[in-house]
Structure 1
């Protein structure tokens, strides 16, 4: 076999290059702390690591989304709590105004404070978050959801849907309520409300509207109690008309705390009517009795600003305040339900956060198992490659000075 000097040089150089490549590779692994620096180091582990990295990035995005959702829900809960306080104060003022000892001037003073509560509610309904978006406008959050019309009423211009946000892979969570669900809705448990027509000329007042038999065939519908002069011309009769216009019952009306039972309900009436007077009874939140906190406040303020001197005016005052207080009770129940829902979602976010944190820890451990370096093994390999490189270098130095001419 012929061994030339060129062959020895080529073999020695190839050995040094191979040893140096292995040495640099282990050096790079130690410097980066990763076993898989390039995909070629372990193609299967590198492929799985990409998938784990993507899962970690998505989990981090959901974590950021939950921070935003938590801020919105915390602001909603805080404002709704303030709304509940305002409604409670309004109810206290109406109870105070219902006292027969108050003069017209006293009631006008109560009305002034009630106006302040009313303005506070409008301000809270148009509250914004830290980014300038209106909290209770639904997806129409670039303008105040509640606006005054030229006649002084408040109307809702927002979206009926509450904003939602993806806070986890399988959870799309409502993070803000629509103004309609807070200020123009009632809880599902809300009952019936009675209301005297503004055109009533008599002084009939109502109280004690209660449910007596929820299984009655007519329960759940709307009713109207209409008064007319008795056929004898002496006294009055009443007729209870259902929502379909059918007459459900009739009877003589004598006043003095008379109780009338109809459609599974009972109501106590007092005072004397005029022919044509009417009292409507309907479920809160129905088409006949729509829920609107601002209209309730407007009606109460309006009646308190009017003098109540005649029996008819006093009856209108008492009936309007009675209806308004019932509506405020329903509004408060609804607001507290919304507040409880926001609190429940805040608690749910805490649970999802804990699950997300555990998931992130699992991903981190999996990624570490795939690509991270075993330093003890790597340092041993580093020492071995260093010795191998030094041996290859020394062999080359020794061989390059050798020549067959030395033996001739």
Structure 2
């Protein structure tokens, strides 16, 4: 068989190229410590590893989201804890101001302290995170959520948006609490209505006023404002709504509950003939409004034109302050529950990542002893091929003449 010089060189070149490629592949396995680098190494294992890598990448993304969610909720939890302390101070000042031995000057000093506490609470409600975003503005993170008006009232400038981050395949965790839900929507201590005792002079008070039959209430005349009047002679109670009398004149007994338009109202105290007051629908009350009302109550001083009414207002304010404290505590609890959920989910991700890493390792980790042996064999094969080519290429017929 005749073998041309060109054919010899081509075959030798291909053979050495293949041997060199084998050596390079073995070096790549050894340097990476992995036995599966491409699909040609092991198609089934390569596909399985792709699944492992995707799952591990998702876990890393979830862990980053958990870190962000923990940061946001931790900050809110701290704000609510501070707000709770401020409200507790205000309540203590209210209790102190109701002490009969306090002078008007003493009570004015307490009122100034409460004003200072009010400013601190407003600052907390306008808290910003490390990026300068307002944490209680809903989706409007660049908008300062609360601003105080000239009359002392507070306006909310944010929205009700709640941002979420995905921390697991089917689990999203809220990263914020909107300012209106946090500071404005406090449950009314007496129910669904607020009382206005402007014309009252005797100390009668509304203990509770709740809607018990929504259908009857919704079908009643608007607006839902009701006037309670005690007859100037008989002292019988009559309730008048927008469409006229809704509760005909009847004897009044302290502590009784009367019903009309789907509403149950429980009254307490002993009114004088001719007394009257009104109630208007208000299911929720702002924390800031409650504090402003407390300040106004204090600024009346120790001497009030109507001490009985002054005490009724005091009791109502104290109850609403307690409701505000409970509300802030529940907001803090919500943040705490989210933090617990995040911690639990993070631990699950750590366990999952560990199991995935073990499964991935079982498939792709290199058997170094076997790989080194194969590398040495491939290297020897390449060297032998190179030596054979070197010797054969120098031969000619002149060596045998």
Give me the TM-score of the superposition, normalised by structure 1: 0.83
The alpha-carbon distance between structure 1 residues 154 and 62, as it changes in their structure 2 partners (threshold 3 A), is same
Distance in structure 1 (CA, Å) of the matches to 2:387 and 2:194: 107
Distance in structure 1 (CA, Å) of the matches to 2:97 and 2:273: 24
1:226 to 225, 228, 231: 228
The alpha-carbon distance between structure 1 residues 30 and 402, as it changes in their structure 2 partners (threshold 3 A), is same
The alpha-carbon distance between structure 1 residues 323 and 201, as it changes in their structure 2 partners (threshold 3 A), is closer
Distance in structure 2 (CA, Å) of the matches to 1:373 and 1:33: 5
After alignment, is 323-332 or 389-398 more displaced?
Answer: 389-398
Distance in structure 2 (CA, Å) of the matches to 1:392 and 1:364: 41
Give the match for residue 92 of structure 1.
92
After alignment, is 155-164 or 69-78 more displaced?
Answer: 155-164
Distance in structure 2 (CA, Å) of the matches to 1:135 and 1:167: 20
Q: Is the 8 A contact 1:200 1:278 kept in 2?
A: yes
Residue deviations 1:45-90, cap 9 Å, x none?
A: 4455445434433322221111111010001011101111111222
Q: Is the 8 A contact 2:136 2:178 kept in 1?
A: yes
Residue deviations 1:264-292, cap 9 Å, x none?
A: 554321353644x2153x7xxxx435311
For residues 123-162 of structure 1, the aligned pairs below 5 Å read 123-162=123-162
Q: Is the 8 A contact 1:193 1:327 kept in 2?
A: no
The CA RMSD over aligned residues, in Å, is 3.4
Residue deviations 1:156-192, cap 9 Å, x none?
A: 11112222222223222111111111211235x9653
Q: Is the 8 A contact 1:194 1:323 kept in 2?
A: no
Shift of 1:149: 2.0
> Structure 1 unaligned runs (5+)?
none
Distance in structure 1 (CA, Å) of the matches to 2:362 and 2:355: 11
The alpha-carbon distance between structure 1 residues 47 and 193, as it changes in their structure 2 partners (threshold 3 A), is closer
1:278 matched to 2:269? The reply is: no
Give the match for residue 327 of structure 2.
334
1:318 matched to 2:342? The reply is: no
1:296 matched to 2:290? The reply is: yes
1:360 matched to 2:353? The reply is: yes
The alpha-carbon distance between structure 1 residues 146 and 216, as it changes in their structure 2 partners (threshold 3 A), is closer
Q: Is the 8 A contact 1:8 1:399 kept in 2?
A: no
Give the match for residue 383 of structure 2.
390
Give the match for residue 260 of structure 1.
256
Secondary structure of 2:109's counterpart equals: helix
The alpha-carbon distance between structure 1 residues 245 and 338, as it changes in their structure 2 partners (threshold 3 A), is farther
> Structure 2 unaligned runs (5+)?
none
Give the match for residue 196 of structure 2.
197
The alpha-carbon distance between structure 1 residues 216 and 3, as it changes in their structure 2 partners (threshold 3 A), is closer
Q: Is the 8 A contact 2:204 2:267 kept in 1?
A: no
1:269 matched to 2:269? The reply is: yes
Distance in structure 1 (CA, Å) of the matches to 2:265 and 2:111: 32
The alpha-carbon distance between structure 1 residues 131 and 216, as it changes in their structure 2 partners (threshold 3 A), is closer
Distance in structure 1 (CA, Å) of the matches to 2:226 and 2:322: 22
After alignment, is 345-354 or 30-39 more displaced?
Answer: 30-39
The alpha-carbon distance between structure 1 residues 329 and 350, as it changes in their structure 2 partners (threshold 3 A), is same
For residues 162-177 of structure 1, the aligned pairs below 5 Å read 162-177=162-177
After alignment, is 314-323 or 49-58 more displaced?
Answer: 49-58
Secondary structure of 1:147's counterpart equals: strand
1:78 matched to 2:74? The reply is: no
Secondary structure of 1:158's counterpart equals: coil
Residue deviations 1:285-329, cap 9 Å, x none?
A: xx43531111111112112212464553x2332222211111111
